[in-house]
Every structure is written in C-alpha cells, then in structure tokens.
Amino acid sequence: MLEGNQTLLGQYDFKKVEENVNKLWEEKKVYSKAKEKVSKNKRYYFLDGPPYTSGKVHVGTTWNKTLKDMFIRYKRLRGLNVWDRAGYDMHGLPTEKATEKLYHIEGGKHQIETEFGKDNFLEKCRETCTNNLAEMNKTFKSLGIWMDFDNAYQSISKEFMEGEWWFMKRAHERGRLYKGQRTMHWDASNSTALAKHELEFATLVDTAMYVRFKVVEDQNQGPNTYFVIWTTTPWTIPFNMGVMLNPKATYCKVHVKNFKGEEQYWLLARDLVTKFLVDKLSLTEDQDFSVKETFLGSTLKGVGYEHPFAKLNPVYSELKKQMPAVHTCLLSDEHVTTSEGTGIVHCAPGCGSEDYEVGYRNKIQPFNTVDESGVFRNLAPFNGLRAKVDDPVFVKMLDEQNGNFR
C-alpha cells in the first residue's frame, strides 16, 4: 500500500528503468531478432531524413525520431520486413559554423584561407561531424529508437556522393535535367547559397515605404497619374521590372488635390484608401482627396510607368527595349492581396521567388547586379552600397528623385 503523497510513479527511477530496458534489449539482441523474424517477408523501405551533425541532439530531433520509431515498429509488427537505415547530414554551413566556433575562427573564409588552412579546416569539419555523429547515435539508442545506426549513411562518404552522381547521371539519360534559373536564399558573409533548413528565423522591424511610379502619359490615364506601391525592401527598387496587381480585386483612381504643390491621381486598391490616405497620411476625404473611378485590377494590365531611377542610369530604357513587358502592370492573384499596403506590389524578378515567377510568366528576365558579398556592382549611382544594410540610403535617394512618403 502507498502512504501519504507517494504515487505509483514515484516508486520508479525512470533513468534506471531506461538503462535496464536498453541493457536487456542489447543482451537479448531484441532488435536484431525482431528484424530476423520478418526477414523473409515483403520488404518495406524507410530511409531516414537526416539531422545535421553540427551539435547535440535537440528536442525537435528526438520528437521526430520517436514518431518515426513508432511508425517503423508498427510496420514491423504488421509483418513487413522493414529496411530502416538512419542517416546524417554532414555538409553545408551548419558544419562550417560549428567548426569555426569550436576553433575560435571569427574571420570567416579569409581567416581560414590565410591562417588556418583550407585542408586543415576541411579535416576539422570532418572530425566535428564524425564526433557528433557518435554522440548522436548514443543518444538515439538511449531513447530506445530502433534504426540501423551502426550503418547510418553519411553525406560526406564516397558511397553517398557517388550515389548522388549516379542519380544525376540517370536523370540526364532520361532527359530530366535542364538548365534554368531560380532565386535562392543567400548568405552574404560567406558568399554562399542557403538551404531552407540552414536559415535562422528572427523577429525584425523592416523599413517600409510607399513609392509613386509615374504612369506614362500615353496610357489613357491622364497626366500626373501614379501607381502607388508599398515595399519593405527599398534596396530592391533599383531592380524593379514591373508592378503587380490582383486582377480580381477592385482598384480606384484617387484625385489628390494638393501633393507636393500639384494636383495628382493615384492608383491603389479601393479597400486600402482609408487605411492609407486617412490613417497613414492624415488626409480628409472630399477636402483633400476624392475617389474618381473604380475598376477591376485586370483592366490595368500592360499600363506602363517610368522607373523612379530612370534619369540616373540608361539601363532602364535598355531593359524596356529588350523586354516589352518591363515597367508595366502585371497581374498576380496568388501573390497580391489588399490586406496591407496599397494592393500594388513592386516586382523585382532578380530578388524574390514570387517576383521571379511572375516575371517568368511575362517573359521578363531577372535583373540584379549585387555580387556574392551583397554589394551593388555595375549600376551607378548605387555601386558600393550593400543590399538591405543600406536601405536608408535607398529611401533617401527615392525621396530626392520622386518626392515619396514613408
């Protein structure tokens, strides 16, 4: 009988229970016997989605492995001969960063090349991976995970790399490979592309601004008419190739009676007139502005505008000659909403995946002169400026050229 506050669970030392169970499984060879029992049955293949060997096992990985273990056990209990090979991801920036931290390398590629030595660093990366792999194997086994950890695949092994090359060869032989372009996450400090799982997420406050793009006067929109766009990436405006509207949303032409000393007409989503003009700019309807027309976004397809930096570099007029859809209104119901901004989004196919997709559909090639370190090259007057870091400089330049508002 239990007395006082003592509970049934309180009788057990769970760490000891875990150790005893694992010891029993090892002594009795339970895992290998479970596999042997169904070895002649129908095969079921399970290849582990690999964790990085850049550190110790974390709670997300243990949860992931536990769920996989439950699934594999279920399949085996149903009589299937489960091939259950574990694996580890040992390449990329996670390994590089972990090794740099381990050996107190703070100068990145330059310090590795000039002081530490590339060959030496590569060997230390390999040691980081294999040492962490051994520790992770122990942890997973202690959790009672049944997988083939002793034969786990490793992305640094010749077996793995040759398998990748074989796969590419077969894809080529079957006509599945083609040369194309795509947008990638990029690490400017290391001058390398990033996989999605190499990204670190953080809450940031971005610089947001509204920019006027003047409609060319032969577009049946009248003089002093502007698309008003909203962006959180001012540094991408030099690479602007179009503006995107939602073809199914309702837009309007707003008569602004006095902006920067002149009468103007602004094109924006009808749902955002109050939020933008009243709440943001503190204008009063009827007194300062009035809605003159409403229409679907689809009616504005192909309407052209002047790039805000057109006077600073002839490249913008050259791009227009090469690709007729450049600096016109493009339609995209999947990427443009009327929940924020103005319902009109600037499109830079060389800077984002959605923009690239819309540009591709409209035969607009990506335009971007930022080098691998994130610095503007061959595009005066922006040369030497850094992407994102110098957003305030781009904001100032837009103000000077266009009389914009934030």
pLDDT digits (tens, 9 = 90+) for 128-181: 999 999 999 999 999 999 999 999 999 999 999 999 999 999 999 999 999 888
pLDDT in tens, 179-190: 888 888 888 887
Among 94, 300, 105, 127, smallest CA distance to 199 is for: 94
Hey, is 17 helix, strand or coil? helix
* Residue 175: per-residue pLDDT: 96
pLDDT score, position 1: 42
CATH 3.40.47.10 for the 27-170+188-194 domain, yes or no: no
Whole-number pLDDT of residue 404 = 62
Over 70: is that where the pLDDT of 10 sits?
no
pLDDT of 219-231, one tens digit each?
678 889 999 999 9
Mean pLDDT to the nearest integer, 86-91? 94
Give the per-residue pLDDT at 17: 87
Amino acid at 270: R
In the beta sheet, which residues pair with residue 386? 375
Q: List the single range of 66-80, 217-231, 253-267, 356-370 with lowest mean pLDDT.
A: 217-231
pLDDT of residue 201: 82
Residue 164 in tokens: 């990748």
Predicted confidence (pLDDT) at residue 8 exceeds the cutoff of 60? no
Instruction: Provide CATH code, domain 209-402.
Output: 3.90.740.10
Q: Residue 14 in 3-state DSSP?
A: helix
* pLDDT for residue 9 is more than 80: no
% of the chain beyond a pLDDT of 90: 79
Report residue 123's pLDDT band, with 50, 70 and 90 as the boundaries.
very high
Dist. CA 143–CA 67, nearest whole Å: 12
Lowest mean pLDDT among 1-5, 133-137, 185-189, 288-292: 1-5
Is 218's pLDDT higher than 80? Answer: no
| DSSP β-bridge partners for residue 313 | none
Q: Give, to the nearest 10 degrees, the angle between helix 118-142 and helix 59-77.
A: 60
Tell me the C-alpha to C-alpha distance, in Å, between residue 175 and each of 98, 166, 167, 181, 214: 39, 14, 12, 18, 46
pLDDT at residue 403, rounded to an integer: 60
Question: Domain locations in the chain?
Answer: 27-170+188-194, 209-402
Measure the CA angle with vertex 257, ends 255 and 258; round to 5°: 135
Is residue 265 scored above 80 in pLDDT? yes
Q: Model-level pTM?
A: 0.78
Q: How confident is the model at residue 7 (pLDDT cuts 50, 70, 90)?
A: low
Determine the average pLDDT of the residues in 300-309: 95
Q: Give yes or no for residue 332 having a pLDDT over 90.
A: yes
Q: Is the pLDDT of residue 217 over 50?
A: yes
For 50, which DSSP code? P
